[in-house]
Amino acid sequence: MRPDTENLIRFYESPEGMLARRLILRAVRRLWPEIADGSLVGFGHTAPWLPALGRDLREVLSLAPWPVERGSATVFCAVVDADALPLASGSVSRVFAAHLLEHVGDVSAVLAEVWRVLEDGGEMVCVVSARGGVWSRREESPFGSGAPFSRRQLGALLRARGLVPVAAEGALFAAPGGWRRFSAVAAERFGRRWFPRRAGVHVVLARKEAPGAEVVEVRRSLSLVPRSPLLPAPN
């Protein structure tokens, strides 16, 4: 089931959403402290984070199985088949995925495509709704639709497609609704230290290290999404 893209956009433009994306960005940067070279592909609804992550890169591309993104003159944006990406095998250094795996019909096929397009040693960071986390149980939450994952379940799916998990973080420990910056940040620090299993989202770094799905070149036409300014990069 595809996400409600209008709700996603509205949420990340709200005060609570802007704080949520900052907290998720901090978790991502703990896994990717610096991204100074290579290429970066955003896969799914990644507009809240892609400008910040790709700020110092010359090759940044945004892809989604549905029209969700807000493109710009610096970030090319396209609608694609999730299990047939129009990219050459081994052509991508990093893939950042968010609001994706919870909503696709065949997670294994999507991960096989990520493995195919990554270069040897290339990395993927995925942000997924955490099974058991309070965010996945609230319908009004941006992570309340689709199928959430446990960290163990996600790790098994990644390994099955040759993407070896090497590090993981959690984010969004405070329940959604009525956030205040100080309390949310305090809950993040407390939760990461004492209750890591209570995270609202899992942020997992995996590396292409093992043979995965059969490598098949796929060439498909791109359906372009109208370009408009990306959301401002989180601080």
CB 131 within 8 A of CB 167: no
- pTM of this structure: 0.85
Q: Along the 235 residues of the chain, how does pLDDT read in single tens digits?
A: 677 788 888 888 888 889 899 999 999 999 999 888 999 999 999 999 999 999 888 889 999 998 764 544 456 678 899 999 999 999 999 999 999 999 999 999 999 999 999 999 999 999 999 998 788 877 777 888 888 999 999 999 999 999 999 999 999 988 777 566 557 777 778 777 777 778 889 999 999 985 644 443 333 333 333 333 333 444 4
CB 41 within 8 A of CB 92: yes
Residue 132 pLDDT: 82
φ/ψ of residue 121, rounded to 5: 80, 0
Structure tokens at 77: 């944006």
Residue 78 pLDDT: 86
Burial class of 142 by CB neighbour count within 10 A (0 to 12, 13 to 18, 19+): buried
- The residues near 123 (Cβ < 8 Å, ≥ 6 apart) are 32, 93, 94, 95, 205, 206, 207, 208
Structural domains for the chain: 5-209 (3.40.50.150)
